Structure 1
Amino acid sequence: MDLVMVFVLILTCLLLFSHWKQSSMRGKLPPGPTPLPIIGNIHQIDAKNVHQAFTNFSKIYGPVFTLYFGMKPAVVLYGYETIKEALIGHGEEFSGRGSVPIFDTVLKGLGNAFSNGDAWKETKHFSLLTLRKLGMGKRSIENQIQEEAQFLVEELKKTNGSPYDPSFILACAPCNVICSIIFQNRFEYEDQIFVTLIEKLNVNSKILSSRWVQENRNQQSIYTRENLTATLIDLFVGGTDTLKSTMRFALLLLLKHPHVTAKVQEEIGRVVGRQRSPCLQDRKQMPYTDAVIHEVQRFIDIAPNNLPHEVTCDVKFRNYLIPKGTTILTSLSSVLHDSNEFPNPETFDPGHFLDAKGNFKKSDYFIPFSTGKRMCLGESLARMELFLFLTTILQNFKLKSLVPLKDVNDAPRVNGFVVLPPPLQLCFIPV
């Protein structure tokens, strides 16, 4: 038998095994499109428009369906009611974290975002307790954000109204807030160590020697150097990258919609004025600005399918049996772009969060930070930063586009689990 025949025989066996395995699994899982051997349903999903693919599948198979990524099945939850029922109604069963190879390699199942079981619960409890002790949720954090907002403004003034890409300093500001919480110290934007931290979003030996390390050589404990390092990585990545991207998107959308920017600046002038810095108390009197920030987050949909979940045990969900260890994908896009809750969801419209009288209107469908037991730990901090950073910028500058408004590109670039804003350059004109 020559090598070609051996290869064909082996390939045939693999295909048959793959088909058998997928068929045996499909009998227990929710319905979905028929997968091909080995590659599954990957050929049916446009990586640049996963939301549309999920929408199309949901119309055929309903709000709970199964897709195969290679030979591994994933159950997709589509729509507000389905996601709420799973992540809140069955919170414990759906609280596992699905495997993501690149993060598994880097974090080795440690930290908050990608740990599981008792280790995750203990690490989450420790993180929340420690962050509160360091000032999270207290007035001191607001003061630190206000201070950082002023440093951000001073840096933007140095541009003298020239064309400028603010991406770097938009990362510096939230990263410095995290540094202020953890190290009780901020860094100058030119500081080389700080620059390296921003560029790599990684923890170095200086961080490892900080007061966060209560080292314990017992590998069953969460208080190991490795786990605390992974937890810090979670904080810096989660607290810097997504906020930077959200602020870049916000500036793009404000550039493209100058009538929105003008109304925000009018509200800032009326409520805050020019003599003091914006504070969180102002938000209650600034419904339009609050609505704009919410609409930015809804519209950009920065984590369209969330980080993957995993069921922690065999679970019966809507008459389907989902085996322990099955990956769960929650389509946050299907909630943030629900046309019944947000008319014309593909349009940027702050009116989605305003009632007929112009008051701010809350929505249960606003879940950019996810929901349930695995929702983002830093939601409250991120919301504070977005409000204080953006209002302080708009208090001090007019935004000037380098191209006609119709040519301002606000189309997101899909990149794995998150979306990235397109390149950004604009002029910050002092007022």
Structure 2
Amino acid sequence: MNTTNSAALFQKACQVIPGGVNSPVRACKSVGCDPLFVAKAQGSTVTDADGNEFIDFVGSWPMILGHGHPEVIKAIQEALPNGTSFGAPTASEVEMAELVCDSVPSIEKVRFVSSGTEATMSAIRLARGYTGRNMVIKFDGCYHGHADSFLVKAGSGVATLGIPGSPGVPDDIVKNTLSIPYNNIEVLEKTLRDATLDIACVIIEPVAGNMGVIVPDMAFLQKLRDLTTELDIVLIFDEVITGFRLALGGAQERFNIMPDLTCLGKIIGGGLPVGAYGGKKEIMDNIAPDGPVYQAGTLSGNPLAMAAGLAMLKIVRTPGFYQELEEKSDRFVERLVEIGAKASVPTVLNRIGSMMTCFFTDTPVTDFDSAMQANTDSYGRHFRHMLASGFWLAPSQFEALFISAAHTPEQLEQALAAIETSLTKLSEV
């Protein structure tokens, strides 16, 4: 595979961009290669700067429809001549808010921002302002963006690079964040019942997607909801990944467990930068200008992002959309499990809906500690095998694989054949 242009671009990028990339995992350090630079994407494929085409199982994380969906592109094109940013309200914001509130069961009011990180940091500020308390409880391996308060035992790139936290985050800020084990009911109850902690909120990925996919124990998730209700603690679901992916109403609809606040991103921008947080009216009414909790952003509700997001949400609301995606994913995973069972290389597949992670380990992966036991060297070799075979996977063991509406049965069969070959090669090492 010729990668001359990507190599030259990476060399130039390293001179002017830290690490040559604008998000750490993209550097591909954990999978033992240099990054390929993408030139274009369409449907379920991406093409790099050297013209190599790959079937894409990352999808920039939000692309549930695939890249460049005609209706999304059309919506952006129609909005573009009217301007790219106004710093003023627009009709599309109202329509988008109505769609979000109508789709996500727990959201009565919503505020748009420009990223998932903005959504989560704004949600915890709101929870603190609403309760008058300071402490935030999160879970080991759950990643909620790069705001100071969250870089404690975080997942995603922090886990990929083996970084425990981050320099530049003052102890005075981190002291108000406590991270506890995911899926551990005993520690959960002991922590939330500790009256000395002054807990304002608990934030959780209802399905962890940033230490690899880890599905919650339903007793754990229900206990979390019961305890936070009993103790008047605000429960925040970070559905930046799961929102509009696991169901129209996200993980909360799928599990029928309702948070007080929900954070959204990725899919609702149709591929453009956007985030949102929303929830109960009585909490949301504390945001300025209605209340004293301040949050603002010039690009919040950006007209191009709203146009793309509206087009995206209207398509996923089509009857049968999620059933078709689920059935496609079911067929793929059924075959994948068979391949994994026959392989000499130990693997554990965690999956829900159209998101999944294959961990290179022989023990169940149920939390951050067990995820960290996965063999990242094996994943790196698997990544390189798959890339050479024409398949684009996340450059980290601790990210998810996504199936989109654009993936065809033929492409999924090709991927399964490549995975089987890759696992065979790994067993020969």
The answer, yes or no, to whether TM exceeds 0.5 is no
The structure with the largest strand share of the pair is 2
Larger-Rg structure: 1
- More helix per residue: 1 or 2? 1
Q: Bin the TM-score by the shorter chain.
A: under 0.3
